[in-house]
Structure formats: structure tokens, C-alpha cells
Amino acid sequence: MLTLFEREHLDVNNLAEADTAIRVEQLSLRFGSKPVLENISMSIPKHQITALIGQSGCGKSTLISSFNRLNDLHQHCHYSGKVIINGRDINSRKENVAQLRTQVGMVFQRPNPFPMSIFDNVSYGLRLQGINTRRQLDEAVEQALHDAALWNEVKDRLFEPANVLSGGQQQRLVIARALALQPEILLLDEPTSALDPLTTLFIEELMAGLKKRCSIVIVTHNMQQAARVSDYTAFLHQGRLIEYSDSDTLFTTPRKKQTEDYITGRYG
């Protein structure tokens, strides 16, 4: 009887292959001589929302960026270990990184629309994939804007510059831009930290709806947000994975003292 009200949880520390979106194996990463991630192993479940929490500088953003190799942009980034997506180790030299990034979409802390029209922003990724027919683009752009719950607000001004949108609209535009490529995984790096509470709520609802379409990994500073939106939560501290379990357990009965201290606000 009780199980009806409780959510069914997978055991993230022993996840079946079919349920895994990303498997991280002994990932270590350093920028120059400064270690950022140390020996992280975890599995991120498919079609769930996984939150990464921890103090500033604990490596959350670096971890999420290693899921689409965006850390490569840093000149002195060195990593070891494996990140397996769809059975491929994306850290291998043979990986087609551009292709990977179409499958693993990413949204950043600050909305970063390109200085082009709304339409061009959403179709940017598609055009790079060589989709150029107007009809295909139109359909995909409309679908993506629907998915990001932005269509009704911008449908009459698709060809206006994206810069005129408000912050929340810009962030949803950026989400639409990522969704247009129909990614399997969506990485959100503190997507609401630059937005007001109401807009934040809006984006959180959006995430819950997107779960059906892709696996979501979200980095957040906001514990309440992590508790509200996520199914699973991982707590990082100084580059190490301290605790990782379903969110209900982690926020109500954390096993580690450090986790408890952090979520109760004793440090951080």
C-alpha cells in the first residue's frame, strides 16, 4: 500500500546497462597541475533527472562538462578514466566530438543566445548538421520551441533578434536550441541561477516534462531545487563523489556526515 505513494527508485550504484545513460568509470581530471576531479565512478540513469550538488569549485561543472568533452576547450586540461555513453568511451581519441555534442546537449548558467534571430538560433545546430530545407527547419524549430514552452511567446516574432527576449525567455530559447537536435542527454549547468524565482519555477516544470524525451543532468547550487526536481542526486566535495543515491534518501537520510552537514547548511 505504501509503495503506491512512494516513487519507485532504481539502485544507482548497481544500475543495469539498459537503464544507464552515462557510465563514468574512474574519471580523474586536472587543469594543469591542479586536480579537479578525482577518481569518480557513477552511473546516470536514463530518462531521469540527476542533480549534482556541492560547494562552488567542487568540480560539478567540470564533471558535467566532461559528459560532452567541453573541457577540451581548456588548453591545459588532462583527464583519465572512461565516460561511456551508448557503449562508447567518449574520452577515446577516436570519438567524433562534434557528433557527440549533438547527442549530448548543454545549457549554461548565463543565457547565451547567438546574436541572430530567434529562428536562426534554434536552427543553428540543425544547419550545422546539413539540414537546409526550409520546411524541415520550420517544423523542427516550431517543435523545439513548443518543447521549451516558448512557442506561444515568440511565434509572431521569430525573425527578431534573440537579444530582445527577457532572461527567462533567452534561457528557454537556449534549451530549445539544444532540444532541436533531439539529444539523448541534456546537461544543464546551473540553468536558473541567473533567473528570478518565478521563471525558475517555469523552467523546473519544463524539465519535468522533458524527462520523457531525454536524460537530464542538472548542476545546481540550490538544494531545494535539487530536492524538488531531481530523481537522483550526487553530492560532490573537493573533486570526490561523496554520496550518490535517489534524492528522497539523500535529502532525508543521508548516509555520510559530510552530506548531512552540507544539506543542512552547516558549511558551504
Partner 1 sequence: MSKLPSLSSVLNAGQRQSLFIGICTFFTAILLLAMVSIVLLIFARGGGYFWPEDIQQLQFVRASDDQPITAYGQYQNQFEQGGEPVRWVVYSHARNPYGNQTLLDDTNLLQARLAPEAARISLRDGRAILGEPLKVTAPSDPDVSLNRLAQRLTQVRQIEQSIAGIRDEQLADIHQKLTELDQRKVGKKAPARLTLNQGFDRWHKRILTLEKQRDAYQLFVRLADQSIVSVALIEVEHLVYPGQLSGWQKLGEALYEVGGFLSESPKQANTAGGVFPALFGTVLMVFLMTIIVTPFGVLAAIYLNEYASNNGLIVVIRIAVSNMAGVPSIVYGVFGLGFFIYGVGGNIDALFFEANLPAPTLGTPGVFWASLTMAILTLPVVIVATEEGLRNVPQGLKAGSYALGATKAETVLYTILPMASPGIMTGVILAIARAAGEVAPLMLVGAVKFAPNLPIDAEFPYLHLERQFMHLGVLIYDGAFHSQTDAKGASMMFAACLLLLVVVFVLNILAVLLRTKLRKRYHKG
Nearer to partner 1, 124 or 202 (CB): 124
DSSP state of 73: G
Q: Is 99 in the site for partner 1 (CB under 8 A)?
A: yes
Site string for partner 1, 53-92 (x = CB under 8 A): ---------------x-x--x-x-----------------
CA distance 71 to 238: 18
Residues in region 119-148 near partner 1 by CB under 8 A? 124-125, 128-129
Q: Alpha carbon of 262 to those of 23, 97, 123, 234, 267: distances in Å?
A: 26, 35, 41, 12, 6
Q: If binding means CB under 8 A, how many residues of this protein chain bind partner 1?
A: 27
Q: Which stretch binds partner 1 (CB under 8 A): 23-31, 171-179, 245-253, 260-268?
A: 171-179
Closest CA to 176 of 194, 198, 158, 201: 158
The pairing of strands 77-85 and 88-89 is antiparallel
Q: Which stretch binds partner 1 (CB under 8 A): 6-14, 31-39, 87-95, 112-120?
A: 112-120
CA distance 208 to 215: 11
Question: Footprint of partner 1 on this chain (CB under 8 A)?
Answer: 68, 70, 73, 75, 98-102, 105-106, 108, 110, 112-115, 124-125, 128-129, 161, 163, 174, 177-178, 181
